[in-house]
Structure 1
Amino acid sequence: MDFINFEAMIDSLLTIGGQLLLLIIVYLIVAPLGKRLVASSIQQVAKRQKLSEGRSKTLENLSLNVFTYVLLFFFIVTFLGILGIPLGPILAGAGVVGLAIGFGAQGLVSDVVTGFFILIEKQIDVDDYVTAGGHDGVVEELGLRTTKLRGFDGTLHYIPNRNIQVVNNHTRGNMRALVDMSIGYGENIDEAIRVLQNVCDQFTSDERLKEGPDVVGVQSFGSSDIVLRVIAQTEKMEQWAVERDLRKAMREALDEEGIEISLPHRVVLNKDE
């Protein structure tokens, strides 16, 4: 009798083991195929709707996250079912535990709700340069719980969505390149403007520029300098490179014309003298 029970137990274990093995195999097959199908579907929708590349990447990453969570949920439920563990008491217990930890989970709910509205309102897309949650960088991923920003020093910031109170998106529309050049008070302002404008005219064919650059005139008078301002409209993420190139070219042009670049001056008065 004991031998028969032992044999039945072995058969039961083998059956359960086979089902679990089959479940794992199915999961390992469905997971990559499902992700590929989701990504392909989002790309087709983005092409039909003529969505930007950043928006397409945002929707793709979010859809893949949702698919992964749903697939993992079904895997766990099926796994418990194969083991013969009743789901009713677990769900009831989960309700009690959920009530107990509900206050502690308010942050998670806030993350999801905030992330949902950020997505719906199109405040952020992947590859946008933004300032959010006290950090600035390029958006690598917008998730339901966290947003990932890659800083210019290479640091990857994980920001809980509930901490994103204000979003400054620096890549919507054309960006502004702004360059201030200082000349000494003894220099001819009109001549300096002419030299700087000649440099600006050489940049008008630059593909990075949408408008300008142009010298707008005298910006301010400093303690030892006159500040001339140059403004241009650029493609997004190109403003810094354009500013660097303009500064270099303008400094060289002013030097060639003998126009002095202002340097700080300090006057020392000797009381005895």
Structure 2
Amino acid sequence: MLMLVTPTAPPSSSPDLDLEKASQAMAQACQNDPICSSFVGMLDNATWAPLVASGVTIVLILVLAFVVRNITHRIITRVVNRAASSGSIAHRFRKGAAPDGIDVLLHERRKQRAETMGSVLKHVASIVILGTAVLTVLDRLTIPIAPLLTSVGILGVAIGFGAQELVKDFIAGMFMLLEDQYGVGDVIDAGAAVGTVEAVTLRVTRLRDADGRVWYVRNGTITRVGNESQGWSRAYVDVPVPYDSDVASVRELLEGVAEKIWADTELRESKIVEEPQVVGVEQLSDSSLVFRISAKTLPSAQAEVSRELRLRVKSALDSAGIALVGSA
């Protein structure tokens, strides 16, 4: 006699069973945690106590993470403010004091660099602290984090290989900021472009050249930088006079021009760092003698000082009846 056997479907887990297993897992994890187990004891070891204690522990973990994050940000801000308000650099100059303008300018450079580094450190601290808190919460919820960490590691390696140029740009930007190679307002030669720095980030540097063209230069592609605005600059003016001119008289005339410029209070306080010097005869030919006047100036002020020197030299030579030969 044949008997028909109807196949039965395998038993499926019900939501109540899954919830019960999750509750048991959380209760087991709570027992291994002294803080969570203390909350369970405070709740008289009730059946629902592990769930409530786990929830309270998770909230405490998140609150603690945000508190630590805020404290870290405050410490970074304090360090940044201290770095941005470091002492005067007047002692670097020969006369013992520098114009107030150079201190103000370098203070702004320090402030910009410190604020940029502070922003980077704050982002790194937030990622580390909050990332650790999230992983701790997932572990508290009995969610296995080992596969997650493995996946993140593999993803990081893949991104590292696929974005090598981006990583190179960021690393170059970090060292550029730490070494204070240039800042906003500096006139630099970055190889690919020459111009005034308008913005500096960890990835790119934005320049504007003399024609008004804006250049975006990736930090990783900059192999050398010529900074015309760091610390101080130097203005040169060459004065060609006839070959038969009296050297002592011309030198005395030019030294008088240098003394008058140094005596100009407005120029001394806003543009010139040290008294201009008459170097002497810089070039000699069969038709002319070329004298040179040199002046140490504030960063990027050399062009203005050179123009002022030329005007005063021209006026002095005209008064003395000495003609210029060729062009300086």
With the shorter chain as reference, the TM-score category is 0.5 to 0.7
Residue in structure 2 matched with residue 228 of structure 1 by the alignment: 291
- The yes-or-no answer on 1:110 pairing with 2:168 is yes
Residue in structure 2 matched with residue 59 of structure 1 by the alignment: 114
**Gapped runs of 5+ residues in structure 1?**
1-36, 75-87, 265-273
**Distance in 1 separating the partners of 2:75 and 2:219:** 24
CA deviation profile, 1:28-59 (whole Å, cap 9, x unmatched): xxxxxxxxx99986874445545921121233
The correspondence for 1:250, drawn from 313, 325, 328, is 313
SS in 1 for 2:114: helix
Residue in structure 1 matched with residue 257 of structure 2 by the alignment: 199
Change (3 A) 1:101 1:47: closer
**Distance in 1 separating the partners of 2:197 and 2:114:** 13
Shift of residue 174, structure 1, vs aligned partner = 2.8
Q: Is the 8 A contact 1:62 1:144 kept in 2?
A: no
Change (3 A) 1:141 1:135: same
The correspondence for 2:185, drawn from 104, 127, 131, is 127
CA deviation profile, 1:156-179 (whole Å, cap 9, x unmatched): 321101111112222333321111
CA deviation profile, 1:88-113 (whole Å, cap 9, x unmatched): 99998887776666544211111111
- The yes-or-no answer on 1:142 pairing with 2:200 is yes
CA deviation profile, 1:52-80 (whole Å, cap 9, x unmatched): 211212332455577689999x9xxxxxx
Residue in structure 2 matched with residue 168 of structure 1 by the alignment: 226
Q: Is the 8 A contact 1:133 1:163 kept in 2?
A: no
Q: Is the 8 A contact 1:111 1:161 kept in 2?
A: yes
Correspondences of 1:152-163 after superposition (within 5 Å): 152-163=210-221
TM, length-normalised to structure 1: 0.65
Structure with more of its chain in strand, by fraction: 1
SS in 2 for 1:190: helix
The correspondence for 1:217, drawn from 280, 288, 302, is 280
Q: Is the 8 A contact 1:184 1:261 kept in 2?
A: yes
**Distance in 1 separating the partners of 2:166 and 2:240:** 51
Structure 1 vs Structure 2 CA RMSD: 3.8
**Distance in 1 separating the partners of 2:300 and 2:316:** 26
Output the amino acid matched with 2:111. S
SS in 1 for 2:273: strand
Shift of residue 242, structure 1, vs aligned partner = 0.6
Q: Is the 8 A contact 2:273 2:298 kept in 1?
A: yes
Output the amino acid matched with 2:190. A
TM, length-normalised to structure 2: 0.55
Segment of structure 1 superposing worse, 92-101 or 247-256 = 92-101
CA deviation profile, 1:220-251 (whole Å, cap 9, x unmatched): 12463211111111122221111110011101
**Distance in 1 separating the partners of 2:117 and 2:152:** 26
**Distance in 2 separating the partners of 1:133 and 1:42:** 34
Shift of residue 114, structure 1, vs aligned partner = 1.0
Change (3 A) 1:157 1:50: farther
Aligned length: 223
Output the amino acid matched with 1:173. G
**Gapped runs of 5+ residues in structure 2?**
1-73, 89-106, 131-145
